[in-house]
A and B are shown apart, each in its own frame.
Chain A
Amino acid sequence: EAQVTQNPRYLITVTGKKLTVTCSQNMNHEYMSWYRQDPGLGLRQIYYSMNVEVTDKGDVPEGYKVSRKEKRNFPLILESPSPNQTSLYFCASSLHSGRGYTGELFFGEGSRLTVL
């Protein structure tokens, strides 16, 4: 089954304790991205990756890091989480090539993070 898998789905942590949210896709997509969802703001892009070893900032990258060492994986790293990073996080992927890209992003089920 084609899917984007995120872990953990739920996490409560404390300020300053480093954490990683993993994301894996099995569709051989070149493009992957992280979004955060906050009430009244919709989804905002944090980081994206066009392919392995190619990453770039989205609209709200502060406080986050990413890496893309393998095509299928795109972890989101919070080096020193703060309460304003409490949010619902979504990983998404899509085909990259111009002809193959339809505008459709495939989303994971989300990871709800609470930073105390």
Chain B
Amino acid sequence: GNSVTQMEGPVTLSEEAFLTINCTYTATGYPSLFWYVQYPGEGLQLLLKATKADDKGSNKGFEATYRKETTSFHLEKGSVQVSDSAVYFCALSLMDTGRRALTFGSGTRLQVQP
């Protein structure tokens, strides 16, 4: 079956520190990969995505590269801000299935201190 594994949190960083949140996956077929972010009290929203190997998704200073050889999609940001404090979910989807289900990791909470 399909699964996504994320590093456990919380991750606590000082403002302007470098962020990496690890994500690896297993999937039958060729998944698209996503990072969703959940700010306190809100629903999830798409942060970035990549649909094929070696694609790099980027948004709001965050980046992640689809690495098929290592089945990974690690999230990085060069300089985090307090406003980046949230829970980050890595997810995959097999786009050719009718279910359209996203398989989520367990989430990683990021806390950025001033």
Contact = CB atoms under 8 A, between A and B. Distances in A.
Interface residues of B, number: 23
Contacts of A56: 99
Contacts of B32: 103
Interface string A88-106: 0010101010000111110
Given A41-B106, A43-B104, A45-B101, A90 B95 contact: no
Interface string B92-110: 0101001111101111000
Given A4-B43, A107-B44, A102 B99 contact: no
B41 interface: yes
B21 interface: no
Interface stretch (B12-20, B45-53, B67-75, B76-84): B45-53
Interface in A1-54: 4, 31, 33, 40-45, 48, 50
Given A33-B101, A42-B107, A48-B100, A101 B95 contact: yes
B101 A58 contact: yes
B93 A103 contact: yes
Interface in B20-73: 32, 34, 41-46, 49, 51
Interface of B: 4, 32, 34, 41-46, 49, 51, 89, 93, 95, 98-102, 104-107
19 contacts: A4-B43, A41-B106, A42-B107, A43-B44, A43-B104, A48-B99, A48-B100, A56-B99, A90-B44, A92-B43, A92-B44, A94-B100, A96-B100, A102-B49, A103-B32, A103-B93, A105-B46, A107-B45, A109-B42
